Amino acid sequence: MLEVRLRHRFRDFDLDVTLKTSGPVLGVFGASGSGKTTLLHAVAGLLRPQRAHVAVGGGVAWSRPAGSWPPPERRRLALVTQDPLLFPHRSVRGNLAFAPGAARRLEGAAGRRVLEVLRIEPLLDRGVETLSGGERQRAALARALLSEPQLLLLDEPTSALDAELSREVLGLLLQVRQELRVPMVLVTHRGPELLAIADDCAVLEAGRVVAQGAPVEVLSRPRALGVANLVGVDNLLRLPVTGHDEAGGVTLLGLGSGLSLAAPLCSVAPGSAVDVGFYADEILLCLETPKGLSARNALPCQVASLDAVGHEVLATLSVGERTLRARLTPAAVAELGLTRGVRAVAVVKTAAVHLLGGS
């Protein structure tokens, strides 16, 4: 559906992106300043990168410096941004009818479908300044769809909305995807959005793609510290390598007080530090050291605090000289009789411990 190769050197920033996706929805994930918006603008033709090759489904391909690099109006890629950017001098209807041919489409079956899915009908004759934030984003989405784009470019379409509205818009995007079958590129800095909507995702960091694949895979196996910070990997540690067990396939990392954490075997020299991350869900708590355990980590720990977060309990554990976080159910907390100061054993599979930052 979309293939992108881009290189552009800015004064203080290099964009060097290679992306290929076949899924109808590509998620592009990254912190602000990672080059997400620049990437979208280049695909949209709003930017003239030094070197570029963009292929959109159906055999259409644009490239620079050789080849053609058409202006945005000849690409049929509609852009929807965080700020809905409705035209303030036009009514909602005037905005929806803006694209060439959109006025005619608005009267036809396709237009009615868009109005229905996005629930725009009652807003048509309102002035845009009277709309609420969610209504504005719906109108902007409808305006983009009525231009009959071959690809919808969404630049953080929900990040200006509160949690509830952003869920609503996300639901609408899912509907647009399923019912109107418009392929999309969704740029976001929120992990859950990607999980909900994208078939394929790419993680952008400092102008480069650092990970690409199915969202669940990319977001749950953080290969780069940047991703870990973004998606909120709950345990991020920089630990010294104390030794390797090549036959056993593990590298041991010092947690202090003689304890060590077994991570997948890596080639970092003993004494050097590595960054590791694992989710709070990956920790099991037991009151005694279990017998016959396949997990390589059974670490004695002490409960430092328990915080209720929604329907879950986030436990902070002291392990050696470090602190780990584990996510538990209230039922488990009750059954084990966990309170502050209780001693327990934290069990973590080696494979759950991800080495970050290419280490």
Partner 1 sequence: MSSAELDVVLLSVRVAALAVAASLVPGILAGWALARWRHPLLPLLQGVVMLPLVLPPVVTGYLLLFALGRSRPLGQAWHALTGGHVAYTTTACVIAAAVVGFPLLVEAIRLSMLGVDPRLEQVSRSLGRGPLDTFLRVTLPLALPGVAAGAVLSFARALGEFGATIVLAGNVAGETRTIPVAVYTLLNVRDGETAALRLVAVSVALALAALLLTFRLSARRRDP
Positions that interact with partner 1 (CB under 8 A) = 41, 44-46, 71-73, 75-79, 81, 83, 85, 87-89, 98-100, 102, 129, 143-144, 147, 153
Smallest gap from Cβ 172 to partner 1, in A, equals: 19
Smallest gap from Cβ 342 to partner 1, in A, equals: 55
Instruction: Give the separation between CA 279 and CA 312, rounded to whole angstroms.
Output: 14
Total length of the chain = 359
327 strand-pairing partners: 314
Smallest gap from Cβ 94 to partner 1, in A, equals: 10
Smallest gap from Cβ 146 to partner 1, in A, equals: 9
| Contact in structure between 172 and 141 (CB atoms under 8 Å) | yes
Instruction: Give the separation between CA 28 and CA 19, rounded to whole angstroms.
Output: 10
Instruction: Give the separation between CA 62 and CA 68, rounded to whole angstroms.
Output: 5
Residue with Cβ nearer partner 1 (105 or 223): 105
Residue with Cβ nearer partner 1 (99 or 253): 99
Instruction: Give the separation between CA 355 and CA 359, rounded to whole angstroms.
Output: 6
Smallest gap from Cβ 64 to partner 1, in A, equals: 17
Residue with Cβ nearer partner 1 (127 or 171): 127
207 φ, ψ (degrees, to nearest 5):
80, 5
Residue with Cβ nearer partner 1 (99 or 186): 99
Residue with Cβ nearer partner 1 (153 or 324): 153
Residue with Cβ nearer partner 1 (161 or 328): 161
Smallest gap from Cβ 136 to partner 1, in A, equals: 13
Helix/strand/coil (H/E/C) assignment for every residue in 192-247 = HHHHHHCCEEEEEECCEEEEEECHHHHHHCCCCHHHHHHHCCCEEEEEEEEEEECC
Instruction: Give the separation between CA 251 and CA 271, rounded to whole angstroms.
Output: 12
